[in-house]
Structure 1
Amino acid sequence: MSAEIDIASPQPLRHLKTVAAVALMVAAGIVSGGLFSRVHAHQELTSWTDAQSVPTVATVLPEPSPASQMLVLPGHLAAYINAPIYARVSGYLHAWYADIGTHVKAGQLLGVIDTPDLDQQLQQARADLQNSIANERLAATTARRWTEMLKQDSVSQQEADEKTSDLIAKQATVEANQANVRRLEALESFKRLTAPFDGVVTARKTDVGALIDSGSGSGPELFTVSDAGTLRVYVSVPQSDAASIQPGMHATLTVPERPGMTFEARLVDTDQSISPASGTMLVQLAVDNKQGLLFPGEYTEVHLAMHGDANALFVPASALIFRAQGMQVAVAGPDHKVQLRDVTIGTDLGTRVEITAGLKAGERVIDNPPDSLANGDVVRLAATMPSNFPQGSERAHG
């Protein structure tokens, strides 16, 4: 009986070993598959991350500078001649005959000043003159008599010379009194305030009975007369455009209160210097104003036709990179690698800028470059778009 048991027991053990081996192989397969899928997923993630790390950028083609550009600058109008009328004598205003807006002719009476003190001074000077003339005549008679007596040896030479010298002194006194009378008469003529030229009264700062003190232009003027038939236009031109400004150039003016109207002006001269404070050159133009549509002192926009720079290129202002090294733009090379270029700005036009150095035509400029962009970085290019700047566009400076 025991011999039968010993023979039958090894069969279940072999069966268990087979099951265990199969289970172990299945488990090994599952582990191997999991490891493989994880490695594959990691490789895919790495590839995706590397692909995402390459930025996609939009590029634009720089536009060449147009043959002519309209430079728009702010300016102000001034009367061709503007004369403040001051009092030359002291007194009280007797009357005025021209108010603001009055068109006057040269020599036309504007006002009259009462000068009681000056009138009395003139009367006294005339009396002094008559007294000196009488004394001069007496001295002349006395000198003739003493000269005749000298010939008869009735008086000494010394006495005759004294009478002759007294005559000369009396004549000098007469001349001095005559000059004083002429001076006061000239001052009397300033009682009448007259227009120095044809024009318009633009200010009246006095009234009847007002006390007037004579001065040298330091006090308030009584009247102001302006010649507005032709107006001066003053414009500050940036240094970058100063070399293109030449006398005789023509410009167009516009003013806010007359929309749709333009006025032709001619460049007269410049101050031939650059202001250190503003970096601009003062330019003077002249505009005809016979119709009186423009007013001295008002604001105007001046449109100057300027020749374009053949070497200049226009790019969007959003393409500029501001860094410690200075102004730069990013250019995408043929191998899709970034090249940072130092550039020189000619004119900032707001949404676009003029590049005068550092960039070549046909190069692809990256628009809105990432802040982290560096030399040699690889980028993915979106479609390259032209800048589409209008030819002959206006360059405005405010």
Structure 2
Amino acid sequence: MSAQALRMPRPGFGRGHVQAVAGCYFVASFAALGLPPYLTEILPELGDHQARWAGVLYIVPTVFGALGAPLWGRLADRYGRKRLLLRAQLGLAVSFVVAGWADSMATFTVALVLQGVLGGTFAASNGYLGAALEGPALSKALTLMQGSARAALVVAPIVVGSLSGWLSPHRQYALLAVLPLTAALLLAALPEPEPVEQPQSRPETVDAAAPVVSLKVLYALEFAFVFSTVISFPYLIALVDDRIPGTSPALSGVLFALPHLVYLVAALAVHATFRDRPRAGIALGFACIALGLAGHAVAGSPASLIAVRLLLGVGLTLGLVSLSVLAADCAKGRAPGGMFGSLEFFSKAGAVAAGVAAAAGSARFGPAAPVLIGGAAAAVTVIATLLLSSLPALNHRTRRSS
């Protein structure tokens, strides 16, 4: 089989299908990404007048999503990726309805648990794409999926805030349940990915120059990347207020969104540049993250904060794109549902660890602690990546039969 053939999408699956999956993830993730920042407004309606449980409930869907992702991935490989992707969208809809109509803390907590257990639309979408595409076509699709997530992360809180004048964020859960339902209807029209027969062995010359890492290294990089980037999210507004007292909410919101906007602008260009050298991209990405987060701790003006947020955005973009390329490489010859489900587990585990570290560090050392912890983690990962890249184990491509 030629290298060109290995990079082609499965028959009957084109760019429009990829865009449809990414678009459905975007609309379905609105409530999941847009409403958690408003937990401090939601919980007083449910009896927690001081919103003391906001921090815990913020990570509840992430924790249970991490626990359920590997199982749902294996079930997708067994019973069909499209079927399990539809299940994830419908599961989100059910959990949002329960959350929107909850009248107690206990019921609302159950709804967030259901969101984690029954959701998992990102991993399900990636598993679906992994069954239909491979090589650069898959890594480009994964890059587009990350763009969809970044766009939702930027737009959803703004929309939720705009609607809150007419409908409380609590009740918006029920309203926004219509979005994953709509996504499920659209996805129902997509084909089930068809496996393509592959030869028992591939010539050693095929993709010989493409860098490859083991699954264990991919999972470790995913965990470290999510930890080092997410740790700066929860207390960024407090850090901005500490560095520049009196900063307007609008400027704080722009500063929060800047790294994600960098990804939306530059991701495809970065993919074209680093798709054949993802290890260099991931090392450079972690280096930019380390420098950007360290800069947060000393920035004392709007201009300097904008500069370090942009640098963090460069690192975010390089890291996400390179991880997409490495994930697509690891997916060759493997059951994609199980692999992407496990990858989602380590991603969410990194987010949970980041949330705990951010809370502990901020409480003990102040709002600059999370960015310093994340910068140190990124710096350590740069060193580890450079050391590991020289090992023969990372330069060896595992050949799998179909």
Q: Same fold (TM over 0.5)?
A: no
Under a length normalisation based on structure 1, what TM-score does the superposition of the two structures give? 0.16
Larger C-alpha radius of gyration, 1 or 2? 1
Under a length normalisation based on structure 2, what TM-score does the superposition of the two structures give? 0.16
